[in-house]
A and B are shown apart, each in its own frame.
Chain A
Amino acid sequence: MNRRTREYLKGRFGDYYRSATVSPPPAANEREWGQIPFTEGDGTTMVRHQSLLDVAGGAGDLDDFLAREAPRHAYFSAARYDDPGNRSMSGKGWRSADLVFDLDADHLPGVDPETAGYGEMLAACKEELLNLLDLLETDFGFREEDLSVVFSGGRGYHVHVRDPAVGELDSAARREVVDYVRAVDLDYDGLVEKRPNERGTLQKTLRAEGGWGRRVHDRLVAYADDLRGMSEEDALAELEELDGVGEKTARTIYGVLERNPDGVRAGNVELGPGAGTLVRALAREVVERDTAPIDEPVTTDLRRLIRLPGSVHGGSGLVVRPLERDAVEAFDPLTDAVPERFRDRQILVDVTDPGPVAVGDDKTKVAEGVQSVREYVGVFLMARGRAEKATE
């Protein structure tokens, strides 16, 4: 990135901030602030260990600071401190930290970042985000007002949880949360336990009151309903699809499901010799479907800096967009995170790395050399190092 490009981006980021209002996080004055300015070189020198007072002055006006400094990247800490501006981490006096989750499109199972397009990766990432939100809301019971969902401006999504019940958890406890969300070390055999039924007989029962057991139970009930909707022949064929289930086992399972549909609903999995295989197969399916591949270190790090919602991501020119919960489903980052400010003009850029450009409504390819493009396309290319600013 040459000087002309740098100054152009800094100027336009400043213009964006002058017209935008960035809501500070709660307890902004107890958080550490950091930014990476537009400087020569690859621009990775972070200015950190700053309090809100340090960055925004006595009036605490964040918008003013952002408009003035127009940083390339802006961050705040998930943690709250006694003295956030203290130079040493231990001197800051840790109080609590938001529980933060990071989903990164680069690390999705089944998505190859080499071949998948940016848009495709972000779409897959949003599916994982919906899984994560379901776990956080249904299992962890976090309330909508304590959850803040944010498009990261780059390759994924962040979720900040601000429920006081989890703010003081240490790193080991947060790892338990991560492992739950990813189903790491899930004991598949432990999903079933022997419980006395109403006659006092011990029977194999899915632990359906919550956790992964509840999710597997829901799947089993749906699966049994599906089987009952089929002809016997089809149902048996379906069962035999499962690894380790032969014709005889399939008949036993089918027979029990037919005879006692309420048993499965109640969690009873006394389904004969194939029961374990069936439960395990469905459990694997549920785990694959419902887990979210969150980035562990982000959640377990009690002192991490997170990108500021409302700021512009210096590596894409897209807005780090906070999302209302009911807007998540319809959100398209490649259009909805484009700053309004960068939509209207055409600008000239000198493209060094031609090819498809993912952002915007008009998905275009750009050719090498000086081109006139929509401003947000130009900003995107320059921010990613694929173009330099050309003289108008």
Chain B
Amino acid sequence: MDPLSARYPFLSSARDAVRGADVDLTELVAAGDPAVDRGRERVERALVEGTTEPETPDAWDDREELLSYPIARILVSLLDSPAAVEKYAGAEARTAHARFTADAERERREGRARTAGEASASDAVGSADSANATRASPDLDTFLREFDLAGTTRAEEGYGGPVPRWFRLGVGSYLRYVDADWGDGWRLVNRELFDGEVRVEREELYRLLREAVRERVAEGLPFEGVDDAVAADLEAEISDLRDLLADRTARVDVSVVAPEQFPPCLARLLDRARAGEELDAVGRFALLSFLAELGLTAAETTELTGLPADEVAGRFGFLRDESGAQYPAPSCETLGAYGLCENEGNHRAVAPHPLSYYAKRVAETDTVTDWRDRAERTDDGRADA
């Protein structure tokens, strides 16, 4: 069993390895193979913690790691929820990113140690060897080839060493994976573009690869036609995961809008938006998806937050797409991972999710005037617009 396939089970070589391993997933599930437990753990940790890293890495061998991936995909398909797919794909991508980053950094350190140990003349040799320019680290090379980037990525000349600091990436490949929501620094207009190549720093290349992994994992999910027997054997797992998912994607029936009852983390995001401060992509998503779930319209949200109308409208179009599927607001724990929730006042003890927190607070308050019915709304003139 190839350790690389166990580490990155979404690679095409891993898919081949599963096929070549001559295992019947139906039998695997029926027999309650350890790979099924690990598959469940993959999805569970993806939903709860945003990673698919095992809790205890030593507990699983390469075979179980590899086979747990198709099992996890079956589980996510049975959950049949856009939120589950998004969280799962995001978590697989984050996990892979952490792994190949660590791999490349180790390579860099070891390479540096090697260079230092050798004759100092070798310093000059490092940068001259641009023939294998993209050779960043074994894992990274695999990724560049896997996502058809090997031909459009090269290390910048003049930067030697085992893992170069700067790369040039074909503009088509760059635009394929970059998301303008990552921040102004990612916008093409602010990049050094020359002769069809965008200059990216090593860590930025890693970030783009993470997006490529996310797309790869999300591709084809959820799939239909899971074998009935498999679905029946996985019933207990699915039931547990559904509960978890429900927790994480709390749907609360609160039709009243009372910003003073918002959990502290969301209240702070709202204040920052109103103060005209730039929110990052996660912050904007958290705030807008929360307000969308309270039933605010795009126009009302624009008024409440002071964010640009076209941006809010665009986001709302995405949050409430035609299929009716909503992207649920993230939990406080997820927000915490992005530094947006610090569990101020231990508010997660009231409820772990902004929506359930808000529902509780509203239920406990005797009189609440909906923000939409308040006179002060016209104070800044926006409500009349």
A positions within 8 Å CB-CB of B: 138-142, 163, 165-166, 168-169, 172-173, 175-177, 179-180, 183-187, 190, 207, 209-214
Is B328's beta carbon under 8 Å from chain A?
Answer: no
Segment among B184-192, B206-214, B257-265 that sits at the interface with chain A = B184-192
B172 nearest CB neighbor, chain A only? A165
- B188, A177: Cβ atoms under 8 Å? yes
Q: Which residues on the B side are within 8 Å of A165 (C-beta)?
A: 152, 170-173, 196
Is B193's beta carbon under 8 Å from chain A?
Answer: yes
Q: Which residues on the A side are within 8 Å of B172 (C-beta)?
A: 163, 165-166, 169
Q: Which residues on the B side are within 8 Å of A168 (C-beta)?
A: 176
- The verdict on A140 contacting B189 (CB below 8 Å), with A176-B180, A185-B184 known, is no
Kindly supply a per-residue 1/0 record for chain B positions 176-206, scoring 1 wherever the CB is within 8 Å of any chain A CB and 0 otherwise: 1011100011011111111111110000000
Q: Which residues on the B side are within 8 Å of A139 (C-beta)?
A: 193-195
Closest Cβ of chain B to A371, distance in Å, is 50
Closest Cβ of chain B to A64, distance in Å, is 37
Q: Which residues on the A side are within 8 Å of B194 (C-beta)?
A: 138-139, 141, 209-211, 214
- The verdict on A207 contacting B180 (CB below 8 Å), with A141-B197, A163-B172, A165-B173 known, is no
Is B175's beta carbon under 8 Å from chain A?
Answer: yes
Kindly supply a per-residue 1/0 record for chain B positions 297-325, scoring 1 wherever the CB is within 8 Å of any chain A CB and 0 otherwise: 00000000000000000000000000000
When chains A and B are docked, how far (Å) is the Cα of A185 from the Cα of B173? Answer: 22
Pairs A–B under 8 Å by Cβ, sample size 18: A138-B195, A139-B193, A141-B196, A165-B196, A168-B176, A172-B179, A173-B176, A173-B178, A176-B189, A179-B187, A183-B189, A185-B184, A185-B187, A185-B189, A186-B189, A187-B185, A211-B190, A212-B189
- B171, A172: Cβ atoms under 8 Å? no
Q: Which residues on the B side are within 8 Å of A187 (C-beta)?
A: 184-185, 187, 189-190
A168 nearest CB neighbor, chain B only? B176
- A209, B196: Cβ atoms under 8 Å? no
When chains A and B are docked, how far (Å) is the Cα of A172 from the Cα of B181? Answer: 11
Closest Cβ of chain A to B171, distance in Å, is 6
Q: Which 5 A-B pairs have the closest CB atoms?
A: A141-B196, A210-B194, A165-B172, A210-B192, A173-B175
- B191, A211: Cβ atoms under 8 Å? yes
- A140, B193: Cβ atoms under 8 Å? yes
When chains A and B are docked, how far (Å) is the Cα of A294 from the Cα of B127? Answer: 41
When chains A and B are docked, how far (Å) is the Cα of A214 from the Cα of B194? Answer: 9
Residue from B173, B185, B187, B195 in contact with A176 in the complex, judged by beta carbons closer than 8 Å: B187
- A211, B187: Cβ atoms under 8 Å? no
When chains A and B are docked, how far (Å) is the Cα of A184 from the Cα of B366? Answer: 50
Closest Cβ of chain A to B138, distance in Å, is 27
- B189, A184: Cβ atoms under 8 Å? yes
Residue from A138, A141, A180 in contact with B189 in the complex, judged by beta carbons closer than 8 Å: A180
Q: Which residues on the A side are within 8 Å of B195 (C-beta)?
A: 138-139, 141, 210
We find that the number of chain B residues with CB closer than 8 angstroms to chain A is: 25
Q: Which residues on the B side are within 8 Å of A211 (C-beta)?
A: 189-194
A190 nearest CB neighbor, chain B only? B190
When chains A and B are docked, how far (Å) is the Cα of A96 from the Cα of B178? Answer: 19
Q: Which of chain B's residues 265-324 have a Cβ closer than 8 Å to chain A?
A: none
- B193, A210: Cβ atoms under 8 Å? yes
Q: Which residues on the A side are within 8 Å of B192 (C-beta)?
A: 207, 209-211, 213-214
Kindly supply a per-residue 1/0 record for chain B positions 151-173, scoring 1 wherever the CB is within 8 Å of any chain A CB and 0 otherwise: 01000000000000000001111
B190 nearest CB neighbor, chain A only? A187
Q: Which residues on the B side are within 8 Å of A176 (C-beta)?
A: 175, 178, 180, 187-189
- B199, A210: Cβ atoms under 8 Å? yes
A141 nearest CB neighbor, chain B only? B196
Q: Which residues on the B side are within 8 Å of A210 (C-beta)?
A: 191-195, 197-199
When chains A and B are docked, how far (Å) is the Cα of A136 from the Cα of B180? Answer: 21
Closest Cβ of chain B to A146, distance in Å, is 10
7 new A-B pairs (CB below 8 Å) besides A180-B189, A210-B197? A169-B172, A169-B175, A177-B175, A180-B188, A209-B192, A209-B199, A212-B189
B192 nearest CB neighbor, chain A only? A210
Q: Which residues on the A side are within 8 Å of B189 (C-beta)?
A: 176, 179-180, 183-187, 211-212
Closest Cβ of chain B to A136, distance in Å, is 10
When chains A and B are docked, how far (Å) is the Cα of A66 from the Cα of B39? Answer: 61
Closest Cβ of chain B to A207, distance in Å, is 5
B194 nearest CB neighbor, chain A only? A210
When chains A and B are docked, how far (Å) is the Cα of A210 from the Cα of B189? Answer: 11
> Which of A166, A179, A210, A214 neighbours the largest number of chain B CB atoms within 10 Å of its CB?
A210
Q: Which residues on the A side are within 8 Å of B184 (C-beta)?
A: 185, 187, 190
Closest Cβ of chain A to B184, distance in Å, is 6
Q: Which residues on the A side are within 8 Å of B173 (C-beta)?
A: 165
Q: Which residues on the A side are within 8 Å of B196 (C-beta)?
A: 140-142, 165
When chains A and B are docked, how far (Å) is the Cα of A106 from the Cα of B299? Answer: 33
B187 nearest CB neighbor, chain A only? A185
When chains A and B are docked, how far (Å) is the Cα of A288 from the Cα of B190? Answer: 16
When chains A and B are docked, how far (Å) is the Cα of A210 from the Cα of B197? Answer: 9
- A166, B175: Cβ atoms under 8 Å? yes
> Which of B152, B170, B184, B196 neighbours the largest number of chain A CB atoms within 10 Å of its CB?
B196
- A180, B180: Cβ atoms under 8 Å? no
A137 nearest CB neighbor, chain B only? B195
Q: Which residues on the B side are within 8 Å of A138 (C-beta)?
A: 194-195
When chains A and B are docked, how far (Å) is the Cα of A190 from the Cα of B186? Answer: 12
A208 nearest CB neighbor, chain B only? B192
When chains A and B are docked, how far (Å) is the Cα of A142 from the Cα of B193? Answer: 12
When chains A and B are docked, how far (Å) is the Cα of A175 from the Cα of B187? Answer: 10
